[in-house]
Protein backbone atom coordinates (compact mmCIF):
# COMPACT_ATOMS: atom_id res chain seq x y z
CA UNK A 1 0.00 0.00 0.00
CA UNK A 2 1.17 3.57 -0.63
CA UNK A 3 0.35 6.80 1.15
CA UNK A 4 1.30 10.40 0.51
CA UNK A 5 4.17 12.12 2.29
CA UNK A 6 4.39 15.79 3.30
CA UNK A 7 5.78 16.72 -0.11
CA UNK A 8 2.94 14.96 -1.90
CA UNK A 9 5.25 12.15 -3.02
CA UNK A 10 3.76 8.64 -2.70
CA UNK A 11 5.29 6.63 0.15
CA UNK A 12 5.30 2.85 -0.14
CA UNK A 13 5.50 0.50 2.83
CA UNK A 14 8.84 -1.31 3.15
CA UNK A 15 9.86 -4.53 4.85
CA UNK A 16 10.77 -2.45 7.91
CA UNK A 17 7.18 -1.26 8.18
CA UNK A 18 5.90 -4.83 8.04
CA UNK A 19 8.50 -5.84 10.61
CA UNK A 20 7.24 -3.05 12.88
CA UNK A 21 3.76 -4.62 12.71
CA UNK A 22 5.11 -7.70 14.48
CA UNK A 23 6.25 -5.74 17.56
CA UNK A 24 9.79 -7.20 17.50
CA UNK A 25 10.79 -5.64 20.84
CA UNK A 26 7.96 -7.47 22.58
CA UNK A 27 8.79 -10.74 20.80
CA UNK A 28 12.39 -10.83 22.02
CA UNK A 29 11.51 -11.85 25.58
CA UNK A 30 8.90 -14.33 24.37
CA UNK A 31 11.49 -16.03 22.16
CA UNK A 32 13.96 -16.05 25.03
CA UNK A 33 11.57 -18.07 27.19
CA UNK A 34 10.88 -20.38 24.25
CA UNK A 35 14.55 -21.11 23.57
CA UNK A 36 15.59 -21.48 27.20
CA UNK A 37 12.65 -23.85 27.76
CA UNK A 38 13.99 -25.97 24.89
CA UNK A 39 17.33 -26.28 26.67
CA UNK A 40 15.53 -27.13 29.91
CA UNK A 41 13.48 -29.82 28.20
CA UNK A 42 16.47 -31.32 26.41
CA UNK A 43 18.74 -30.95 29.47
CA UNK A 44 21.31 -29.86 26.93
CA UNK A 45 21.57 -28.92 23.26
CA UNK A 46 18.16 -29.38 21.56
CA UNK A 47 19.66 -29.49 18.07
CA UNK A 48 20.47 -26.63 15.70
CA UNK A 49 17.70 -27.33 13.17
CA UNK A 50 15.00 -27.60 15.81
CA UNK A 51 16.29 -24.47 17.52
CA UNK A 52 16.18 -22.49 14.28
CA UNK A 53 12.75 -23.78 13.23
CA UNK A 54 11.10 -23.19 16.60
CA UNK A 55 12.65 -19.72 16.92
CA UNK A 56 11.47 -18.75 13.44
CA UNK A 57 8.00 -20.21 14.00
CA UNK A 58 7.77 -18.56 17.39
CA UNK A 59 8.65 -15.20 15.89
CA UNK A 60 6.03 -15.68 13.18
CA UNK A 61 3.28 -16.66 15.60
CA UNK A 62 3.96 -13.89 18.12
CA UNK A 63 4.44 -11.45 15.25
CA UNK A 64 1.11 -12.45 13.77
CA UNK A 65 -0.56 -11.74 17.11
CA UNK A 66 1.06 -8.31 17.14
CA UNK A 67 -0.21 -7.60 13.65
CA UNK A 68 -3.81 -8.39 14.51
CA UNK A 69 -3.54 -6.45 17.77
CA UNK A 70 -2.55 -3.37 15.76
CA UNK A 71 -5.49 -3.88 13.43
CA UNK A 72 -7.95 -4.23 16.32
CA UNK A 73 -6.50 -1.29 18.27
CA UNK A 74 -6.11 1.05 15.32
CA UNK A 75 -8.75 3.46 16.59
CA UNK A 76 -7.22 3.90 20.03
CA UNK A 77 -3.63 3.86 18.71
CA UNK A 78 -4.52 6.95 16.69
CA UNK A 79 -5.25 8.83 19.92
CA UNK A 80 -2.04 7.99 21.78
CA UNK A 81 1.23 9.74 20.96
CA UNK A 82 3.41 6.67 21.46
CA UNK A 83 1.36 4.57 19.01
CA UNK A 84 0.07 7.16 16.52
CA UNK A 85 2.89 6.48 14.04
CA UNK A 86 2.35 2.72 13.78
CA UNK A 87 2.02 1.56 10.14
CA UNK A 88 -1.67 0.73 10.57
CA UNK A 89 -2.55 4.05 12.21
CA UNK A 90 -0.56 6.18 9.78
CA UNK A 91 -2.29 4.51 6.83
CA UNK A 92 1.00 3.23 5.44
CA UNK A 93 -0.30 -0.35 5.64
CA UNK A 94 -4.03 -1.00 5.25
CA UNK A 95 -5.92 -3.27 7.61
CA UNK A 96 -6.51 -5.63 4.70
CA UNK A 97 -2.82 -5.92 3.83
CA UNK A 98 -1.91 -6.27 7.49
CA UNK A 99 -4.48 -9.06 7.92
CA UNK A 100 -3.11 -10.94 4.93
CA UNK A 101 0.42 -10.58 6.30
CA UNK A 102 -0.61 -11.68 9.80
CA UNK A 103 -2.56 -14.69 8.53
CA UNK A 104 0.36 -15.80 6.38
CA UNK A 105 2.72 -15.62 9.33
CA UNK A 106 0.38 -17.66 11.52
CA UNK A 107 -0.21 -20.38 8.92
CA UNK A 108 3.50 -20.75 8.20
CA UNK A 109 4.28 -20.87 11.92
CA UNK A 110 1.73 -23.61 12.54
CA UNK A 111 3.02 -25.71 9.62
CA UNK A 112 6.66 -25.34 10.66
CA UNK A 113 5.95 -26.39 14.23
CA UNK A 114 3.70 -29.29 13.19
CA UNK A 115 6.20 -30.73 10.71
CA UNK A 116 9.55 -30.14 12.44
CA UNK A 117 8.54 -29.61 16.04
CA UNK A 118 5.48 -31.50 17.24
CA UNK A 119 1.70 -31.18 16.80
CA UNK A 120 1.41 -30.23 20.47
CA UNK A 121 3.90 -27.38 19.98
CA UNK A 122 1.87 -26.13 17.02
CA UNK A 123 -1.36 -26.15 19.02
CA UNK A 124 0.28 -24.41 22.00
CA UNK A 125 1.53 -21.67 19.70
CA UNK A 126 -1.92 -21.24 18.18
CA UNK A 127 -3.44 -21.14 21.67
CA UNK A 128 -1.15 -18.25 22.57
CA UNK A 129 -2.19 -16.42 19.42
CA UNK A 130 -5.91 -16.89 20.12
CA UNK A 131 -5.49 -15.82 23.74
CA UNK A 132 -3.78 -12.58 22.77
CA UNK A 133 -5.90 -11.64 19.79
CA UNK A 134 -9.35 -12.86 20.80
CA UNK A 135 -9.39 -13.06 24.60
CA UNK A 136 -7.16 -10.08 25.39
CA UNK A 137 -7.43 -7.68 22.43
CA UNK A 138 -11.06 -8.28 21.46
CA UNK A 139 -12.87 -9.38 24.62
CA UNK A 140 -11.04 -8.07 27.68
CA UNK A 141 -8.83 -5.06 26.98
CA UNK A 142 -11.60 -2.48 26.60
CA UNK A 143 -14.02 -3.93 29.15
CA UNK A 144 -12.28 -4.95 32.40
CA UNK A 145 -9.21 -4.17 34.46
CA UNK A 146 -8.64 -7.92 34.64
CA UNK A 147 -7.55 -7.70 30.99
CA UNK A 148 -3.84 -8.05 31.63
CA UNK A 149 -4.28 -10.77 34.28
CA UNK A 150 -6.35 -13.11 32.11
CA UNK A 151 -5.22 -11.93 28.68
CA UNK A 152 -1.62 -11.94 29.84
CA UNK A 153 -1.77 -15.72 29.68
CA UNK A 154 -0.89 -15.31 26.00
CA UNK A 155 2.70 -14.60 26.98
CA UNK A 156 2.83 -17.82 29.03
CA UNK A 157 2.61 -20.17 26.04
CA UNK A 158 6.11 -19.70 24.50
CA UNK A 159 7.90 -21.97 27.02
CA UNK A 160 5.21 -24.61 26.45
CA UNK A 161 5.89 -24.37 22.71
CA UNK A 162 9.62 -24.82 23.23
CA UNK A 163 9.16 -27.69 25.66
CA UNK A 164 6.63 -29.53 23.51
CA UNK A 165 8.79 -29.11 20.41
CA UNK A 166 11.59 -31.01 22.15
CA UNK A 167 9.66 -33.67 24.08
CA UNK A 168 6.30 -33.91 22.33
CA UNK A 169 4.50 -33.56 25.65
CA UNK A 170 4.16 -31.25 28.67
CA UNK A 171 5.07 -32.27 32.21
CA UNK A 172 4.29 -30.47 35.47
CA UNK A 173 7.54 -28.51 35.40
CA UNK A 174 6.64 -27.07 32.00
CA UNK A 175 3.33 -25.88 33.44
CA UNK A 176 5.21 -24.26 36.32
CA UNK A 177 7.07 -22.20 33.72
CA UNK A 178 3.66 -21.17 32.38
CA UNK A 179 2.47 -20.22 35.88
CA UNK A 180 5.59 -18.20 36.70
CA UNK A 181 5.05 -15.99 33.65
CA UNK A 182 1.32 -15.76 34.37
CA UNK A 183 1.90 -14.23 37.81
CA UNK A 184 4.93 -12.20 36.67
CA UNK A 185 2.99 -10.43 33.90
CA UNK A 186 0.88 -8.12 36.14
CA UNK A 187 4.01 -7.04 38.03
CA UNK A 188 5.73 -6.12 34.79
CA UNK A 189 2.78 -4.54 33.01
CA UNK A 190 1.21 -2.62 35.87
CA UNK A 191 4.56 -0.95 36.61
CA UNK A 192 4.34 0.42 33.06
CA UNK A 193 0.62 1.15 33.30
CA UNK A 194 1.23 3.38 36.33
CA UNK A 195 3.43 5.63 34.21
CA UNK A 196 1.11 5.87 31.21
CA UNK A 197 -2.28 5.66 32.93
CA UNK A 198 -3.28 9.08 31.62
CA UNK A 199 -2.98 7.80 28.05
CA UNK A 200 -5.16 4.81 28.87
CA UNK A 201 -7.69 7.07 30.59
CA UNK A 202 -7.94 9.34 27.55
CA UNK A 203 -8.81 6.45 25.23
CA UNK A 204 -11.10 4.67 27.69
CA UNK A 205 -9.00 1.58 28.40
CA UNK A 206 -9.82 0.34 31.93
CA UNK A 207 -6.33 -0.54 33.13
CA UNK A 208 -6.09 -1.08 36.88
CA UNK A 209 -4.51 2.32 37.76
CA UNK A 210 -7.26 4.05 35.79
CA UNK A 211 -10.12 2.15 37.40
CA UNK A 212 -8.95 1.71 40.99
CA UNK A 213 -6.04 4.11 41.42
CA UNK A 214 -2.36 3.85 42.22
CA UNK A 215 -2.62 2.44 45.75
CA UNK A 216 -4.58 -0.67 44.79
CA UNK A 217 -2.32 -1.12 41.78
CA UNK A 218 0.91 -1.17 43.79
CA UNK A 219 -0.73 -3.46 46.37
CA UNK A 220 -1.63 -5.86 43.57
CA UNK A 221 1.89 -5.58 42.15
CA UNK A 222 3.30 -6.59 45.54
CA UNK A 223 0.89 -9.50 45.83
CA UNK A 224 1.68 -10.83 42.37
CA UNK A 225 5.41 -10.37 43.01
CA UNK A 226 5.09 -12.64 46.05
CA UNK A 227 3.17 -15.22 44.01
CA UNK A 228 5.86 -15.08 41.34
CA UNK A 229 8.74 -15.64 43.74
CA UNK A 230 7.00 -18.50 45.55
CA UNK A 231 6.10 -20.22 42.27
CA UNK A 232 9.64 -19.79 40.97
CA UNK A 233 10.95 -21.81 43.93
CA UNK A 234 8.37 -24.60 43.84
CA UNK A 235 9.99 -26.64 41.00
CA UNK A 236 12.61 -27.60 43.59
CA UNK A 237 9.90 -29.61 45.35
CA UNK A 238 9.46 -31.62 42.14
CA UNK A 239 13.21 -32.34 42.07
CA UNK A 240 13.28 -30.83 38.59
CA UNK A 241 15.92 -28.23 39.46
CA UNK A 242 18.98 -28.06 41.67
CA UNK A 243 20.95 -25.56 43.74
CA UNK A 244 22.01 -23.34 40.83
CA UNK A 245 18.43 -22.54 39.95
CA UNK A 246 17.14 -22.30 43.53
CA UNK A 247 19.85 -19.87 44.63
CA UNK A 248 19.38 -17.79 41.49
CA UNK A 249 15.60 -17.74 41.84
CA UNK A 250 15.84 -16.70 45.49
CA UNK A 251 18.29 -13.88 44.75
CA UNK A 252 16.42 -12.63 41.70
CA UNK A 253 13.08 -12.86 43.50
CA UNK A 254 14.43 -11.06 46.53
CA UNK A 255 15.30 -8.00 44.47
CA UNK A 256 11.95 -8.13 42.68
CA UNK A 257 10.27 -7.93 46.09
CA UNK A 258 12.54 -5.08 47.19
CA UNK A 259 11.67 -2.97 44.14
CA UNK A 260 7.98 -3.76 44.56
CA UNK A 261 8.16 -2.74 48.21
CA UNK A 262 9.89 0.53 47.33
CA UNK A 263 7.12 1.37 44.89
CA UNK A 264 4.50 0.41 47.48
CA UNK A 265 6.06 2.62 50.18
CA UNK A 266 6.39 5.54 47.77
CA UNK A 267 2.72 5.48 46.80
CA UNK A 268 1.34 4.82 50.28
CA UNK A 269 3.45 7.68 51.63
CA UNK A 270 1.22 9.93 49.56
CA UNK A 271 3.60 10.58 46.67
CA UNK A 272 2.59 10.54 43.04
CA UNK A 273 3.98 7.93 40.68
CA UNK A 274 7.51 8.90 39.67
CA UNK A 275 9.66 7.31 37.00
CA UNK A 276 12.52 6.88 39.46
CA UNK A 277 10.53 4.26 41.39
CA UNK A 278 8.35 2.75 38.65
CA UNK A 279 10.92 2.43 35.86
CA UNK A 280 13.43 0.35 37.89
CA UNK A 281 10.74 -2.24 38.64
CA UNK A 282 9.51 -2.27 35.04
CA UNK A 283 12.99 -2.73 33.59
CA UNK A 284 14.18 -5.18 36.24
CA UNK A 285 11.11 -7.35 35.80
CA UNK A 286 12.24 -8.10 32.23
CA UNK A 287 15.77 -8.87 33.38
CA UNK A 288 14.36 -11.02 36.18
CA UNK A 289 12.45 -13.30 33.83
CA UNK A 290 15.28 -13.54 31.30
CA UNK A 291 17.89 -14.51 33.91
CA UNK A 292 15.53 -16.86 35.78
CA UNK A 293 14.88 -18.87 32.63
CA UNK A 294 18.50 -19.03 31.56
CA UNK A 295 19.53 -20.17 35.04
CA UNK A 296 16.88 -22.86 34.82
CA UNK A 297 18.48 -24.05 31.59
CA UNK A 298 21.99 -23.92 33.04
CA UNK A 299 20.90 -25.78 36.17
CA UNK A 300 19.23 -28.63 34.30
CA UNK A 301 22.15 -29.02 31.89
CA UNK A 302 24.75 -29.06 34.69
CA UNK A 303 22.88 -31.53 36.88
CA UNK A 304 22.07 -33.74 33.90
CA UNK A 305 25.79 -34.13 33.27
CA UNK A 306 26.57 -34.60 36.97
CA UNK A 307 23.86 -37.18 37.54
pTM above 0.85? yes
| Alpha carbon 189 to chain centroid, angstroms | 9
The most distant pair of C-alpha atoms in the chain lies apart, rounded to whole Å, by 69
| Alpha carbon 274 to chain centroid, angstroms | 24
Q: In terms of pLDDT, which residue wins out, 124 or 91?
A: 124
Query: What is the number of other CB atoms lying within 10 angstroms of the CB of residue 130?
Result: 15
Which residues neighbour 30 within 8 Å (Cβ) at sequence distance 6 or greater?
Answer: 58, 62, 155, 158
| Alpha carbon 117 to chain centroid, angstroms | 21
Structural element, H or E, at residue 25? helix 24-42
Q: pLDDT category, 92, cuts 50, 70, 90?
A: confident
Average model confidence (pLDDT) for the chain?
92
pLDDT at residue 59, rounded to an integer = 96
- CA 123 to each of CA 120, 161, 179, 184: distance values in angstroms, whole numbers, following the listed order: 5, 8, 18, 23
Range 241-266 average pLDDT: 97
Which residues neighbour 12 within 8 Å (Cβ) at sequence distance 6 or greater?
Answer: 1, 2
Domains of the chain (ranges, CATH numbers): 15-169 (1.10.357.140), 171-306 (1.20.120)
DSSP β-bridge partners for residue 36 = none
- Would you give the DSSP letter of residue 104? H
pLDDT at residue 9, rounded to an integer = 44
pLDDT at residue 15, rounded to an integer = 82
Amino acid sequence: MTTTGLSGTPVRATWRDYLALTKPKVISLLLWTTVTAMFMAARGWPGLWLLVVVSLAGFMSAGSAGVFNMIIDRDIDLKMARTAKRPTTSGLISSRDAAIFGTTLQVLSFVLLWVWGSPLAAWMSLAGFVTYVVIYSMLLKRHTWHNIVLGGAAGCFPPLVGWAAVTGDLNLFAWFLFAIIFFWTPVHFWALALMIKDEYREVGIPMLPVVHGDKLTVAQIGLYAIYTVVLSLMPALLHEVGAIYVISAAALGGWLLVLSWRLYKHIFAGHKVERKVAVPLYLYSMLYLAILFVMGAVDRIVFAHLG
